[in-house]
Amino acid sequence: MVGYFRDNADLGYYFQHGIDWASLMPVLELAPGSGDGFKDAAEAVQLYQEVAERVGDFAAHEVTPHAAEIDREGVRFAKGEAWFPERLQSIFDKVAALGLHGLTLPRELGGMNAPMLLYLVNCELLARADISVMAHYAFHTGPAMALLLFSLQEGSTQLDVESGRVEATRWRAAIEEIARGEAWGSMDITEPGAGSDMAALRTRAELDDQGRWRVTGEKVFITSGHGKYHFVLARSEPLAAADDLKAGLAGLSLFLVPAYQDEPDGRRTRFVSIDRVEHKLGHNGSATVALRFDGSPAELIGKRGDGFRQMLEFMNHARLSVGFESIGLCEAALRLARAYAAERRSMGKPIDQHEMIADYLAEMEIEIVSLRALAMDAAYHDELGQKKLLFGRHLARDEASRVALEREARAHLARVRRLTPLLKYQAAEKAVEMTRRCLQIHGGNGYMREYPAEKLVRDALVMPIYEGTSQIQALMAMKDTLGAVLKKPRAFAQRLAGARLASLSRLDPLERGVARLQHLSLSAQQHLLTRTFAAKIEDLRRRSLPPWHGWMKDWDPKRDFGFAMLHAERLIRLLADEACAEILLGQARRHPERRVLLERFLERAEPRARFCHDEITTRRRARLEAAVEVTHHALVDKLAAE
């Protein structure tokens, strides 16, 4: 079997042409050709590709053959610890031996100074083999990088300004331990009573008599939570009012809580106890645990009250990796479905020659290409944005270059902020859709445990749930998109008119197609805002003495954006298709051999965008009231039954 990188021409495109690696080099290697860096971009890309090939080979030959066994055996809970089965442990010993855990860390901290983009490609390759292996892999690199970044942000890392090398950093020992594969981290947010609603988190952090932080509370569903280094979101500031969303979030701080210490005599002293390993539908090789903190010693990261912002930063990276993870699942589903459909015959021919099945497979293929384009674009801009920000803040030689670097960084990061929820939403939803389609193509066999299709569905179902549900991604995208329109209404009107004109006047039919998609998206946004404004004015008219003065400032998201919230998921679908089309158009302009991909994408994206647009623009506000009414009746029925 060919490895998962070598058999994937679309992935190869990004290493050969699709990514502008030369533009990444100045932020990856400060002084090319000096020290242990690369002599030029070509040499670096060659090494990155070799790493991706090795990981792809490893995934295909050493993970996939054991995926069913890993799923069957799961993770054991005994003597207060979660235990990996031998097979999974041996896979992780090999991952460590390949040096993958520290891949993106600076060389002086035991890493290879590779781009995060390479790490994300590895996430896709490993996810194609087994989702649990990928998830646990991510909880090495992710926390190690986060420790370094948070330390840079709070000013507890010293860099050599000439070489950019790390001279000292607050969590050096932990970072190096993780890079060696001897420890890993986890992100502890969710509690029994709060997941999406972080303002409702109740785990407490308090200072003891000696001025040390102690964390007390319960966290559930924590992936790789049997690890050592826990990023814990806890309430360090008192809650002024129970329902004040902002106060709820502003009272949160981020802590590093080491869960245990291994003593020289081999005993383990635990500061955080594992209550149980959760029983899940899928992801069985991944240790998802419930944790109890009981005055556990903790270190404050950064400033008090800054936890929500810091965790969002961490989560945004994690959302990018869920995007790549979901693409890996989609790729697995496509390959499995394609192989089965080519072999299985019905009504005198292989089932892949029946029109419907052929169409399913063709659709899966083009959807994966478009998702990967979105993912790669987001990852590329994230790399540039994050690194330019760090360079600007810590290594700029003068004020002018600091200002220039930070301005460039902000532009890249604004793009990442736009693309991340679209990627997380679209890739996660497609993973569910495609794995289900793969099962369907397997017919009755698909439903049987002997075939790998059902495992893919079980594993995929969590993609739209963790790292922020699909609904939360939709709300974030809606808020950012409409907020941007409100900030610059004139620019929005120009874009709307420009898209309309381009959809009619561009000579290239593909450019016209992309402009039509943009116009559908912009016109849906216009409709949502018009209806929101109309409702607001209606609300003001109903008041006896309308407070017209300052009414624009008097916006309450819960009250005034109900109509936009109703349509947030339709809007995010439109936005995701629009973004994919724009990125594929950019690729087609640079590399005409990709035009055919854009053509195939538009053929499917345009009708579904029209459908979402029509649903948004033709559903009346009355429907919203009716929907809320139905929920109310359901509640009344429930209360009556009780």
Ligand X SMILES: Cc1cc2nc3c(=O)[nH]c(=O)nc-3n(C[C@H](O)[C@H](O)[C@H](O)COP(=O)(O)OP(=O)(O)OC[C@H]3O[C@@H](n4cnc5c(N)ncnc54)[C@H](O)[C@@H]3O)c2cc1C
What is the DSSP secondary-structure string of 375-390? HHHHHHHHHHHHHHHH
Q: With beta carbons less than 8 A apart as the criterion, state whether 279 and 289 touch.
A: no
Residue with Cβ nearer ligand X (187 or 330):
187
Residue with Cβ nearer ligand X (467 or 577):
467
Task: Give which of 629, 612, 604 is closest to 570, Cα–Cα.
Answer: 612
Residues 248-287 that bind ligand X (CB under 6 A): 280, 283
3-state secondary structure of 136: helix
Site for ligand X contains 288 (CB under 6 A): yes
Q: In the bound complex, what is the minimum distance in angstroms from residue 461's beta carbon to ligand X?
A: 9
Q: In the bound complex, what is the minimum distance in angstroms from residue 139's beta carbon to ligand X?
A: 8
Mark 60-99 with x for binding to ligand X (rule: CB under 6 A) and - for no binding.
----------------------------------------
Mark 204-223 with x for binding to ligand X (rule: CB under 6 A) and - for no binding.
-----------------xxx
Contacts of 508 (CB under 8 A, 6+ apart): none
Q: In the bound complex, what is the minimum distance in angstroms from residue 75's beta carbon to ligand X?
A: 12
**Other CB atoms within 10 A of residue 549 CB:** 8
Q: In the bound complex, what is the minimum distance in angstroms from residue 191's beta carbon to ligand X?
A: 8
**Other CB atoms within 10 A of residue 258 CB:** 18
Q: What's the token pair of residue 11?
A: 């992935």
Residue with Cβ nearer ligand X (29 or 188):
188
Question: For residues 326 and 131, what is the distance between their CA atoms, to the nearest angstrom?
Answer: 9
CA–CA distance from 232 to each of 216, 224, 308 (Å)? Answer: 11, 13, 11
Residue with Cβ nearer ligand X (244 or 538):
244
Q: In the bound complex, what is the minimum distance in angstroms from residue 286's beta carbon to ligand X?
A: 7
At 91, which helix (H) or strand (E)?
helix 86-97
Residue with Cβ nearer ligand X (19 or 199):
199
Mark 223-252 with x for binding to ligand X (rule: CB under 6 A) and - for no binding.
x-----------------------------
Residue with Cβ nearer ligand X (215 or 462):
462
CA–CA distance from 21 to each of 16, 115, 411 (Å)? Answer: 9, 10, 18
In this chain, which of 466, 492, 561, 601 binds ligand X, going by CB under 6 A?
A: 466
Residue with Cβ nearer ligand X (164 or 285):
285
Q: In the bound complex, what is the minimum distance in angstroms from residue 425's beta carbon to ligand X?
A: 11
Which one of 84-92, 357-365, 467-475, 617-625 is the stretch in contact with ligand X (CB under 6 A)? 467-475
3-state secondary structure of 282: coil
**Backbone φ, ψ for residue 254 (5° rounding):** -105, 135
Give residue 265's identity as a one-letter amino acid code.
D
Residue with Cβ nearer ligand X (492 or 561):
561
Residue with Cβ nearer ligand X (190 or 296):
190
Q: In the bound complex, what is the minimum distance in angstroms from residue 473's beta carbon to ligand X?
A: 9
CA angle in degrees (0–180, nearest 5) for 377-411-47: 40
Q: In the bound complex, what is the minimum distance in angstroms from residue 567's beta carbon to ligand X?
A: 12
Site for ligand X contains 138 (CB under 6 A): no
Q: In the bound complex, what is the minimum distance in angstroms from residue 188's beta carbon to ligand X?
A: 6
In this chain, which of 163, 440, 469, 617 binds ligand X, going by CB under 6 A?
A: 469
Mark 173-202 with x for binding to ligand X (rule: CB under 6 A) and - for no binding.
-------------xxxxx----xxx-----
Task: Give which of 310, 309, 277, 296 is closest to 203, Cα–Cα.
Answer: 296
Residue with Cβ nearer ligand X (111 or 142):
142
CA–CA distance from 616 to each of 211, 477, 489, 510 (Å)? Answer: 54, 15, 20, 25
3-state secondary structure of 286: coil
Residue with Cβ nearer ligand X (114 or 274):
274
Q: Specify the DSSP class assigned to residue 59.
A: I
Question: For residues 225 and 289, what is the distance between their CA atoms, to the nearest angstrom?
Answer: 6
Give the residue nearest to ligand X (CB).
Answer: 195
Residue with Cβ nearer ligand X (69 or 197):
197
Q: What number of residues does the chain have?
A: 642
Q: In the bound complex, what is the minimum distance in angstroms from residue 315's beta carbon to ligand X?
A: 9
Question: For residues 334 and 339, what is the distance between their CA atoms, to the nearest angstrom?
Answer: 9
Q: In the bound complex, what is the minimum distance in angstroms from residue 576's beta carbon to ligand X?
A: 17
Residue with Cβ nearer ligand X (186 or 236):
186
Residues that bind ligand X (rule: CB under 6 A) add up to a total of: 21
Q: In the bound complex, what is the minimum distance in angstroms from residue 278's beta carbon to ligand X?
A: 7
Site for ligand X contains 479 (CB under 6 A): no
Q: In the bound complex, what is the minimum distance in angstroms from residue 280's beta carbon to ligand X?
A: 6
Question: For residues 69 and 75, what is the distance between their CA atoms, to the nearest angstrom?
Answer: 12
**Backbone φ, ψ for residue 203 (5° rounding):** -55, 130
Residue with Cβ nearer ligand X (469 or 617):
469
Question: For residues 231 and 298, what is the distance between their CA atoms, to the nearest angstrom?
Answer: 10
Question: For residues 237 and 183, what is the distance between their CA atoms, to the nearest angstrom?
Answer: 31
Residues 406-465 that bind ligand X (CB under 6 A): 462, 465
Task: Give which of 29, 41, 169, 182 is closest to 113, Cα–Cα.
Answer: 29
296-326 burial, b for 16+ CB within 10 Å, e for fewer?
A: bebebbbeeebbbebbebbbbbbbbbbbbbb
Q: In the bound complex, what is the minimum distance in angstroms from residue 640's beta carbon to ligand X?
A: 24
Q: Which residues bind ligand X (CB under 6 A)?
A: 186-190, 195-197, 221-223, 280, 283, 288, 462, 465-466, 469, 471-472, 475
